[in-house]
C-alpha cells in the first residue's frame, strides 16, 4: 500500500503565498462555516426526502477552505473553534485540520482537497444516529456504543445515494476512520497495512478535534493535553510518525488560538514557527486594561524577548465576539 510520505509533493513544488489580513479572511471563513451548515441541512433534507445526496458541494467547500487556509491558516482554524458544538462544527473542524496537516506534509493541491473532503464527510453516518444518543452526558452502554459505532457503515452506504461518487480516499475515510493499526477498531477490524494514509490522518484529526471541544460528556482539553492523550494511546492504534507530524503542524498554540500576552493584550495565533513552537507569529488586537480593540500588530515572538504568551484564553470568557473584534481592528489597517 502507498505510504504517507509517498504522496507528499517535493519541496520545490510547494508555492509560498503572501499571508492575507486576518480580518478579511475571518469574514470569508465565517461565510464558509455558514455554507457548511447550509450543505449539512441540504444533505439532511435529501435524506428525509429520499433524494440524491448533494455531496459535490462538500468537495467544492473543501477547495474553498483550502484556499482560505493557504491565505491565512488562523482564520479558518479560529472559526472552527468559535461556534457551539454541532455536527457541522466538528466536521468542519476535522476538515480544516486535515487541510492544515496535508499542507504541512506538502501534499498536492488535489490531495489537500481530498483530505479536506474526507474530514468534512467522515461523520455523515451520524445523521442516522439520534442526537440524544450522540450527546449523551454519561458513558454509553455496550448496546448504545454498538448503535453509535454503526455510523461508519451508515455513512459508507449513503454514498450509493449521492449525486456523485467521491474519490476512493474519501470513501475509505468515511468507512474506516475508526479503524486502528492493531485491528481493535471498527467496522472491519483492519490492521496497519490495510489502512490508507488519508484515513489514518482522519482518525487522528477526528480524535483531536473531539478532545478539544466542549461536549456533554467531557470538557475541552487544551491542545498540549489533547496531543498527550493521543500520544499515550498511539502505540498500536495511531500512526506514530503521522501523529508527530500532526503535533508539529498544530503545535502547542494552534493557529487561531486566543492567547494573553505579557504586555496585557489579547492576540490570535497567526502562524506556527516549527523551530520555535513556543514563539509563534501572533496578531495582537485587544488591550485588556482599557478593554478596547486596537490596531492589529503582527508580532514575531521569536524576535521579541520581552513579549511572550502567558496564558491560553477562551473567547467564551470575554464579553465580545472575537470575529467581530478582529474585523473591527482590521479596519484600522
Q: What is the mean pLDDT of each run of 10 residues along the chain (333 residues)?
A: 50 49 78 89 91 93 91 74 65 92 92 96 93 89 96 95 91 97 96 94 95 81 88 89 92 84 92 74 92 90 93 78 62 48
Q: Structurally, how many domains does the chain consist of?
A: 2
The verdict on 150 and 66 lying in the same domain is yes
Same domain, 211 and 284: no
Query: Based on the domain organization, do 175 and 265 belong to the same domain?
Result: no
Q: Where are the alpha helices (DSSP H) in 221-316?
A: 223-232, 240-250
Domain holding 59, by residue range, is: 4-250
Tell whether 164 and 89 lie within a shared domain: yes
What pLDDT is recorded for position 109? Answer: 92
Is residue 274 domain-shared with residue 200, that is, in the same domain? no
Give CA–CA dist 225/231, Å, rounded: 10
Q: Which of 198, 231, 250 is the last residue of a domain?
A: 250
- In this prediction, residue 13 carries a pLDDT of 39
β strands within the chain, DSSP E: 258-261, 265-271, 281-287, 292-300, 309-313
Residue 140: asked if its preceding bond is cis (omega within 30°), the reply is no
Q: Give yes or no: residues 150 and 52 share one domain.
A: yes
> Residues 211-218: contacts with CB within 8 Å, 24+ apart?
212/81, 213/85, 213/89, 213/90, 213/93, 214/85, 215/85, 215/135, 216/135, 216/136, 216/137, 217/135, 217/136, 217/137, 217/138, 217/139
For residues 206 and 277, state if they share a domain.
no
Q: Check residue 326 and give its pLDDT.
A: 62
Query: Residue 29, class by beta-carbon neighbours within 10 Å (0-12 exposed, 13-18 middle, 19+ buried)?
Result: buried
175/316 same-domain check? no
Q: Do residues 281 and 202 both lie within one domain?
A: no
Residues paired with residue 286 on neighbouring β-strands, in sequence order: 266, 293
Domain end (from 207, 226, 250):
250
Calculated CA dihedral for residues 303, 74, 253, 59, nearest 10 degrees: -140
- pLDDT the model gives residue 61: 95
Say yes or no: 99 and 244 in one domain. yes
Domain boundary pick from 221, 250, 279: 250
Tell me the C-alpha distance between 284 and 272, whole Å. Answer: 15
18 CB-near residues (< 8 Å, 6+ apart): none
Instruction: Give the model's pLDDT for residue 84.
Output: 53
Q: Are residues 235 and 316 in the same domain?
A: no
Q: Are strands 265-271 and 309-313 parallel, antiparallel or unpaired?
A: unpaired
- Residue 275, pLDDT score: 66
Residue listed under C-alpha cell 482518525: 203
The CATH code of the domain that includes 218 is 1.10.3210.10
Helix ranges restricted to H, 236-281: 240-250
Are 285 and 303 contained in the same domain? Answer: yes
Amino acid at each position: 500500500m502507498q505510504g504517507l510520505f509517498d504522496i507528499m509533493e517535493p519541496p520545490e513544488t510547494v508555492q509560498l503565498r503572501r499571508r492575507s489580513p486576518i480580518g478579511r479572511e475571518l469574514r470569508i471563513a465565517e461565510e464558509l462555516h455558514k455554507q457548511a451548515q447550509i450543505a449539512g441541512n441540504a444533505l439532511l433534507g435529501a435524506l428525509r426526502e429520499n433524494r440524491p445526496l448533494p455531496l459535490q458541494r462538500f468537495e467544492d467547500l473543501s477547495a474553498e477552505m483550502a484556499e482560505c487556509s493557504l491565505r491565512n491558516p488562523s482564520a479558518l482554524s479560529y472559526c472552527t473553534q468559535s461556534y457551539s458544538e454541532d455536527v457541522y462544527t466538528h466536521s468542519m473542524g476535522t476538515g480544516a485540520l486535515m487541510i492544515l496537516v496535508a499542507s504541512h506534509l506538502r501534499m498536492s493541491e488535489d490531495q489537500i482537497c481530498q483530505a479536506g473532503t474526507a474530514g468534512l464527510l467522515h461523520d455523515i453516518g451520524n445523521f442516522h444516529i439520534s442526537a440524544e444518543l450522540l450527546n449523551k452526558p454519561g458513558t454509553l452502554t455496550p448496546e448504545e456504543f454498538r448503535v453509535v459505532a454503526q455510523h461508519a457503515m451508515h455513512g459508507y452506504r449513503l454514498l450509493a445515494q449521492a449525486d456523485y461518487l467521491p474519490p476512493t480516499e474519501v470513501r475509505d475515510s468515511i468507512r474506516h476512520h475508526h479503524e486502528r493499526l492493531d485491528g481493535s477498531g471498527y467496522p472491519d477490524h483492519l490492521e496497519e497495512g490495510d489502512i490508507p494514509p488519508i484515513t489514518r490522518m482522519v482518525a487522528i484529526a477526528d480524535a483531536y478535534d473531539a478532545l478539544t471541544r466542549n461536549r456533554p460528556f467531557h470538557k475541552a482539553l487544551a491542545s498540549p493535553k489533547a496531543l498527550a492523550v493521543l500520544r499515550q494511546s498511539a502505540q498500536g492504534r495511531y500512526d506514530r510518525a503521522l501523529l508527530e507530524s500532526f503535533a508539529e503542524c498544530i503545535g502547542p498554540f494552534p493557529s487561531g488560538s486566543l492567547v494573553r500576552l505579557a504586555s496585557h493584550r489579547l492576540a490570535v495565533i497567526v502562524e506556527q514557527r516549527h523551530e520555535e513552537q513556543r514563539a509563534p507569529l501572533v496578531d495582537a488586537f485587544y488591550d485588556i486594561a482599557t478593554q478596547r480593540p486596537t490596531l492589529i500588530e503582527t508580532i514575531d515572538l521569536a524576535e521579541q524577548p520581552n513579549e511572550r504568551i502567558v496564558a491560553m484564553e477562551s473567547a467564551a470568557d470575554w464579553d465580545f465576539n472575537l470575529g467581530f473584534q478582529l474585523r473591527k481592528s482590521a479596519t484600522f489597517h
